[in-house]
């Protein structure tokens, strides 16, 4: 079996895993495929916490005795301990599978490498590290939460070419076009919580719901406020998802993230306004930036990322792994902040 073929099958497993993005938290998204004689014969993915893991679903999809020449591909190291479900390593060993290919290893220090070790001790040949970066990035939020206890933070906004979140007061309307806004709602459907500041609630009365998408879970809606003065009639407090709204009064951003992590929130999407985005930037608590740049110079009053700013260029936040994608008439720019070099 060549590495090229391994990567081909692992991409198929990744596509399986992506089917449940946004549905499995606080578990990771995982995909698996079974190959025999260079042909995929079964597929599976983890659908939600508490249900069978990808490996088990894949083996059930095959529905027959697995021949020794078969190879199981899984995007994440099989679990070796009992949780909501039984250990996957036990089920794999029981089938008699002799070849397993793993994408990323478990980042949990208590579990990392143990599943692979158990399989090898049982005589299973394990190849690991196939498309490891892609497999790890698929669960970047879970990985951060499981290691640090804090959710992965995505700063998202639709902004004008002059860095504004709004149009002039007498010209209400969107900065970005319909296609870009739909793309942003897809991102909302993949996170555990959406966070806004009190001013956004007072001025925009947002719903922060997932709509127009199938099988999407409604994320928690988090509001940061200093005074606690919020409109009781607002959508966040009166609609059918009111019980999914959390209010934090006078809490630092870091404290809020720590509390959300204890609630099994693995990912947070900051949706506004500018003050909250600026606070997160100043505190260096942003893990990913996703900006939708509209083709307009608005001159609006709300700046996208206000705050203290960097003391000098050397301390400015720079992005790595930057991507640019045109969506309708807007451009989506995404990237990951680099860590500051120690002085």
Helix (H, G, I), strand (E, B) or coil at 332: strand
d(Cα 78, Cα 65) in Å, to the nearest integer? 20
Q: Is 186 an active-site residue?
A: no
In whole angstroms, what separates CA 311 from the centre of its chain? 31
- By CB neighbour count within 10 A (0-12 exposed, 13-18 middle, 19+ buried), where does 282 fall? middle
Marked catalytic residue, from 4, 16, 55, 171: 55
What are the angstrom distances between the C-alpha of 105 and each of 20, 93, 158, 245, 328?
A: 19, 18, 35, 35, 38
d(Cα 264, Cα 278) in Å, to the nearest integer? 25
d(Cα 57, Cα 25) in Å, to the nearest integer? 18
Query: DSSP secondary-structure letter at 184?
Result: H
Q: What are phi and psi of 44, to 5 degrees?
A: -165, 155
- By CB neighbour count within 10 A (0-12 exposed, 13-18 middle, 19+ buried), where does 39 fall? exposed
Q: What is the DSSP string of 231-265?
A: -TTSHHHHSTTGGGEEEEES--HHHHHHHHHHTT-
38, 65 Cβ separation under 8 angstroms: no
30, 119 Cβ separation under 8 angstroms: no
256, 174 Cβ separation under 8 angstroms: no
What are the angstrom distances between the C-alpha of 240 and each of 193, 218, 235, 243, 315?
A: 16, 11, 9, 8, 44
Q: What is the CA radius of gyration of the chain?
A: 22
**Which helix H or strand E contains 201, and what residues bound it?**
helix 198-204
* Residues carrying an active site annotation: 55
């Amino acid at each position: 079996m060549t590495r090229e073929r391994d990567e081909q099958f692992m991409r198929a497993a990744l596509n399986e895993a992506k089917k449940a993005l946004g549905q499995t938290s606080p578990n990771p998204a995982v995909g698996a495929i079974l190959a025999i004689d260079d042909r995929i014969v079964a597929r599976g993915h983890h659908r939600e916490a508490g249900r069978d893991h990808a490996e088990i679903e894949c083996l059930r999809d095959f529905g027959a005795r697995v021949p020794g020449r078969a190879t199981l591909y899984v995007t994440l190291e099989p679990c070796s301990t009992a949780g909501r479900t039984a250990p996957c390593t036990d089920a794999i060993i029981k089938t008699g599978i002799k070849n397993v290919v793993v994408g990323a290893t478990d980042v949990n220090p208590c579990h990392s490498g143990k599943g692979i070790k158990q399989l090898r001790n049982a005589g299973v040949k394990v190849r690991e590290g196939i498309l490891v970066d892609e497999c790890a990035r698929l669960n970047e939020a879970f990985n951060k939460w499981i290691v640090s206890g804090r959710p992965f933070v995505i700063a998202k906004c639709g902004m004008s070419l002059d860095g504004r979140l709004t149009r002039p007061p007498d010209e209400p309307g969107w900065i970005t076009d319909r296609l870009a806004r739909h793309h942003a709602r897809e991102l909302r459907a993949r996170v555990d919580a959406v966070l806004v500041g009190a001013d956004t609630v007072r001025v925009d009365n947002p719903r922060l719901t997932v709509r127009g998408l199938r099988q999407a879970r409604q994320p928690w809606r988090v509001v940061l406020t200093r005074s606690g003065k919020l409109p009781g009639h607002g959508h966040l407090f009166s609609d059918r998802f009111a019980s999914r709204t959390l209010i934090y009064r006078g809490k630092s951003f870091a404290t809020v993230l720590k509390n959300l992590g204890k609630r099994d929130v693995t990912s947070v999407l900051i949706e506004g306004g500018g003050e909250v985005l600026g606070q997160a930037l100043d505190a260096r608590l942003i893990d990913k930036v996703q900006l939708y740049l509209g083709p307009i110079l608005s001159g609006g009053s709300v700046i996208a990322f206000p705050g203290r700013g960097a003391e000098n260029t050397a301390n400015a936040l720079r992005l790595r792994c930057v991507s640019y994608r045109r969506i309708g008439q807007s451009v989506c720019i995404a990237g990951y902040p680099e860590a500051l070099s120690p002085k």
